[in-house]
Every structure is written in C-alpha cells, then in structure tokens.
Amino acid sequence: MADLETIPPPAAAAKTRQKLGGRPAGESRRNGWSWSWINLLLDALLLVLFMAVCFAAVVVRFVFPPGPAAGGWTLWGLDYDAWGGIQFALVAILAGGILVHVMLHWSWVCNVIASRVAGRGSRVDDGLQTIYGVGLLIGLLVSVGAALAVAVLTVKGPA
C-alpha cells in the first residue's frame, strides 16, 4: 500500500499534470485555443451563415420578381439565378457547419438521450456512440436520397 506521504497534494498533482502536458477540462492550450473557444467560434460562424441564408432567401423571394419575370433584373451585378446559386451554396455550407457542431457535441447528445429517454444512468461508451452516429448519418442520407429520388421521378414538365 502506498505511503500517504508519497501521494502528492492536489496542487502538486495539477503542476505535475501540466508538466506532462495534461490540462484540466476547459483550460486553454499553449496557443490559447480551448474547446470553449472553438465552440464559440463555430456557433458565431453558424449564426453569420444563418443570417446570410435568410438575407439571400429574402432577396430571391421578395426583391426579384417571381421566376421568369425576373429575366434581365440584377442586384449588385448578379441576376436571379446567381442569387439562387448563392442561396444554395450558403445552405450547403450551413448544413456542413451544423454537422460539425453535432459531431463536436455527439457524446453529450448520446448521454442525454441515454439518461433522459432510455432511463440508463450510466454513460454510453465510445464504441456505441460511434455506431449510433454512423447509423443516424446513414439513415438521414438514405431519407434525403429517397425524397430526392421521388422528386426526380414525379416531376412534371410544362403541358
């Protein structure tokens, strides 16, 4: 059994851990980046992207006349189709950012679902979290793909 004098006090243990490169949760690294700062920057980026998507949607929907009547109209040198492309690109980037955001918080999502919904008191292990995440991603991609396939197969041209 270890002698009580050989067990370092908490302050000494923290100094030893810092010398070895370990840090307490939330503490910044040498370069000043922590998970809190990364989350804050990602959330700020998602907010800016959301506002840009809203702006582009309002431009496409309310500034330009509808569809074919918008031929020849421009806003800041961009026509209706260019603004539609900008809107789609912003939505795609926003979706990617949301995916990264969920990935960064995936262990929290799994643990909340396990404790609140499934009634499990214990933490979900990393292997199950990965399986749940991959399964959910596959399910979402299959759902979107099926909806797009139905849309492509049922679209009707002008009469």
12 or 79, which is more confident: 79
**Residue (of 76, 104, 152) closest to 96 by Cα position:** 104
The rounded distance, in Å, linking the Cα atoms of 59 and 3 is 73
61 or 35, which is more confident: 61
Token reading at 14: 């923290």
The rounded distance, in Å, linking the Cα atoms of 44 and 36 is 12
At 152 the pLDDT is 95
Whether residue 157 is predicted with pLDDT greater than 50 in this model: the reply is yes
Summarize pLDDT for 1-41 with one digit per residue, the tens: 444 444 444 454 445 444 444 445 455 556 778 888 888 99
- Residues 6 or more apart whose CB falls under 8 angstroms from that of 100 comprise 42
At 128 the pLDDT is 79
How far, in Å, are 116, 119, 140 from residue 135 at the CA level?
20, 21, 9
70 or 142, which is more confident: 142
